[in-house]
Chain A
């Protein structure tokens, strides 16, 4: 039985009222969905809440899943749309994690904290820089990066998910990476 068949079987059992069969689906996909959502909204707490919301929404409309696509693809679409809606709502709201990232000057001059010879702190700051870099990307650029880097999707798959041409996918990835390069200059070899 393939993974897709297993998922379909679990969905079928859920539809018969066996709520606990949904657990396997939640635990199988929660982290992938969390990464996608986190990558778009860049807020851990909200990403966690939203990931749960995706599963609740999926369960409520499980009878609409006809098995024409993979269950994860179906979940993914729900997550993607919810994350984009949330990101739109968040615009204008203070975003704590990004504000933290701004403590480090993107131009490269380090704050006092970054001078501490502590590997953990350095790593933490690198992560903050990456997050700050992701925040500079447009939503389509960021989504393309996440789909490619975290999900490992091919250009063809990304173009299908994002409903755009392969050329547009390549272009988004290119501009996204160039922006990230610019943002992470102090950490890169090819300055």
Chain B
């Protein structure tokens, strides 16, 4: 009884099989009762999903998911996440090391050392603050500008 009844209830029988089974149902009270119970259970499950769990349908998960995606370590292809990684996870010493290396290169290149500055460069401005200095040099011939920031 079980499998046939199951398949009939779930509309998984062919039209011919269904007709045959309906003939059986006409004379089997027990199977008819079981089918009614299955239908009640099915309606109750459906109602549970539609009514009881409805608040979940009405709430978008997107804001929470988006904020978590933005904060997360990326997998390597997501531009927004990768950008965030750079801002978030870059150790402070990398920035300092890069600045120091750039300053040393510029210094030893002779461009910004007083007295060793190429003749065509002149300093056009200077700003000194407690935590950094800015000097701006410009090439007299072509106007090429160098802005030197020392942290």
Which residues of A are interface residues toward B (Cβ below 8 A)? 15-17, 19-20, 22-23, 26-27, 30-31, 34-35, 38, 44, 47-48, 51-52, 55-56, 59-63, 123, 126-127, 130-131, 145, 148-150, 154-155, 167, 170-171, 173-174, 177, 180-181, 184, 187-190
Contacts and interface: CB of A to CB of B under 8 A. Distances in A.
Interface of B, helix, strand, loop or mixed by DSSP? helix
B62 interface: yes
A184 B44 contact: yes
Which among B3, B45, B70 has the greatest number of chain A C-beta atoms within 10 A? B45
A35 B49 contact: yes
19 contacts: A17-B78, A22-B66, A23-B66, A27-B60, A34-B53, A34-B56, A38-B53, A38-B56, A56-B72, A62-B77, A63-B77, A127-B47, A155-B7, A155-B12, A174-B2, A174-B5, A181-B41, A184-B40, A188-B41
B64 A52 contact: yes
A26 B7 contact: no
Contacts of B69: 19, 22, 56, 59
Contacts of A184: 37, 40-41, 44
Contacts of B5: 174
Interface residues of B, number: 42
Interface in B31-76: 33-34, 36-38, 40-42, 44-49, 51-53, 56-57, 60-62, 64-66, 68-70, 72, 75
B77 to A, nearest CB: 5
B10 interface: yes
Nearest to B70: A19
Interface of B: 2-3, 5-7, 10, 12, 33-34, 36-38, 40-42, 44-49, 51-53, 56-57, 60-62, 64-66, 68-70, 72, 75, 77-81
Nearest to A188: B37
B36 A145 contact: no
A40 B5 CA distance: 25
B12 to A, nearest CB: 5
Contacts of A62: 77
A154 B12 CA distance: 7
A34 B58 CA distance: 12
A92 B57 CA distance: 30
B6 A26 contact: no
A171 B53 contact: no
Given A181-B37, A181-B38, 10 more contacts: A19-B80, A23-B62, A35-B53, A56-B68, A170-B7, A173-B10, A174-B5, A174-B6, A184-B40, A189-B33
Nearest to A61: B75
A149 to B, nearest CB: 5
Contacts of A126: 44
Contact of B65 (A56, A155, A187): A56
A113 B95 CA distance: 66
Which among B33, B42, B49, B81 has the greatest number of chain A C-beta atoms within 10 A? B49
A190 B66 contact: no
Nearest to B44: A130
Contacts of B57: 31, 34
